[in-house]
Amino acid sequence: MKIREILRHKGADVATIAPSATIEEALGLLRDHNVGALVIPGTGDAVRGILSERDIVRSLADRGPGVLAETVAANMTAPVIGCGPEELITEAMSTMTARRFRHMPVIDGNMLAGIVSIGDLVKHRLRELEDEASDLRTYIASV
């Protein structure tokens, strides 16, 4: 199955934030949207950066509470590793696992098409495996 299938079920909404916003503002958006990462859109590129909960925690641990007044641009991860809508779910899972991140923007051409989390990918993969197991049980019962 491909990433576009996840976006078809999940939708293409992406929580974004300006690079000039503060970390304190970012925390409010993370809470309000109930997400673990915010995408920073680019002007010429689809994605300039991504700011995850992990980025914020690392900055706080390194520099203390003054980080809350810093800009998103100073704390975001860039460049961003993304995937396309035609990428296989297993390939995206492999990339996310190997690179140790939990959120991946989906880029179609030069446009931000959505975002997937490792949870989205695991949920879809489990559904696929359950369907396969059900099909096998049905087949075995019919033989």
Query: What is the pTM assigned to this prediction?
Result: 0.86
Domain parsing of the chain, residue ranges: 3-142
Q: What would be the CATH architecture of the domain defined by 3-142?
A: Roll (3.10)
pLDDT at 110 over 90: no
- Report CA-CA distances (Å) from 132 to 87, 89, 95, 125, 140: 21, 16, 24, 11, 12
- Phi, psi torsion values for 80, nearest 5 degrees: -95, 140
pLDDT tens string 27-85: 999 999 999 999 999 876 679 999 999 999 999 999 999 999 999 999 999 999 999 99
pLDDT tens string 95-106: 999 999 999 999
